[in-house]
Chains A and B, each alone.
Chain A
C-alpha cells in the first residue's frame, strides 16, 4: 500500500476489507543500499500501519529483500542482517515475499538464506513465484528448496501467484496457495474461480495486488461479486476470501482475528 493513495484505503474499507497484508516488494527500481531497505522497513512497520489505522484497517507486513533484487548477493546479505531488528514489530507476520524471479543461481542462494532466517526465527513464509514464462520452473525449484529444509512446515508457507499450471504442485506438496488477481498477468477473477472449482477450496486464498503498477485494490471484492454471479453461496465465498486467510495468518501470534478487534 506504500504506492497507493488514501482513496484506495477508503475504497477498500467501504468494500468491506477487514485488514491489509503487505509484503516487502520491489519498488520498481533498485534501491541503492541497505540503508534504503532500512527506511523501507521503517515505512512498513511504523508509518504505513499508522496510515492504514486512519481508515480503521489493521495493517500487517512481511519483510525481505525481494527476489528481483537478489542477484546482488552482497546487498542481499546486508539487508538480511537488518531484518531481525524489525521482526519484533507488532505487525510483522513473517518473511516475504521471498522466492525467485528469473530463477538464477544467486536468487536461489538468497532464497535459501531467507528460508534459514525464517526457520531460525519461527516465522511464517510468503513466497513470490516468478512471472509468465518463468513461473512453472521457478515454482518447482522453490518447492524443492523448501522441502529440502526439514525445519520448514509446508502448512506455514504460502506460495503466491499460482496459476493453472502451478497450483496442483503447490497443493500436492502440502503448501498453501495464493492466487493474485491482476488485470493482465497472473490470474483474472474468473480464472481464479475456475481454479477453485477444479482444485477445491482448502489451503487456498485470493488476494488483490496493490502495487505501483497496474493493479486493482478491489480485485477480491470484485471476484466475490463474480462468485455470486456464478451462484456460489455466501458461506463458500466467506471461506475463500475471509476464513482461509485468517486460518493461515493466525498461525502467527501477531495476527488478530478482525472479529476480536
Chain B
C-alpha cells in the first residue's frame, strides 16, 4: 500500500490544476449559447461519480460515457468515436 502523503506530494498540484481546468471548461460551456448536446449531458452525469466513496471512480466515469448495449450495430457509418454514447435505451 502506498503512503497517502507521498501520493498527495506527487499528484496534488497536478490534480488541482486539472480540476480547475474542468471548472473553467464548464464555465466556458455556460458562456456559450445554450444548445443541448448529449456529450455534455453525459459529462455532467460522469461528474457525479467523483462524489462517490467507492475506490473505482475512474471505472464508473468510463462507464458513464459507454455504450451500454450488447448487440453489434447493423453497419458502421463512421470510423471515429466521439467519447460519449449518442444512443438511448427505450
Chain A residues with CB under 8 Å of chain B are 26, 68, 71, 101-108, 130-137, 140-141, 163-165, 190-191, 194, 197, 229-231
Give per-residue flags for B56-90: 1 if the beta carbon is below 8 A from chain A beta carbons, else 0: 10110011011111101111111111111100000
Q: Tell which of B6, B62, B84 touches A165, judged by Cβ atoms closer than 8 Å.
A: B62
B67:A137 contact, CB within 8 angstroms:
yes
**B68 partner residues in chain A, CB cutoff 8 A:** 136-137
- Nearest first, the 9 A-B pairs at minimum CB distance are A102-B76, A131-B81, A132-B81, A104-B76, A164-B59, A165-B62, A136-B66, A164-B58, A133-B85
11 A-B interface contacts by CB (under 8 A): A102-B81, A105-B74, A106-B75, A131-B80, A132-B83, A135-B62, A136-B62, A165-B59, A165-B63, A230-B10, A231-B2
Q: Known pairs A132-B83, A140-B70. 11 more at Cβ < 8 A?
A: A102-B73, A103-B67, A103-B73, A103-B76, A134-B66, A134-B67, A134-B81, A135-B62, A137-B70, A165-B62, A230-B10
For the A-B complex, the count of residue pairs with Cβ-Cβ distances under 8 Å equals 83
Secondary structure at the B interface, as helix, strand, loop or mixed, is loop
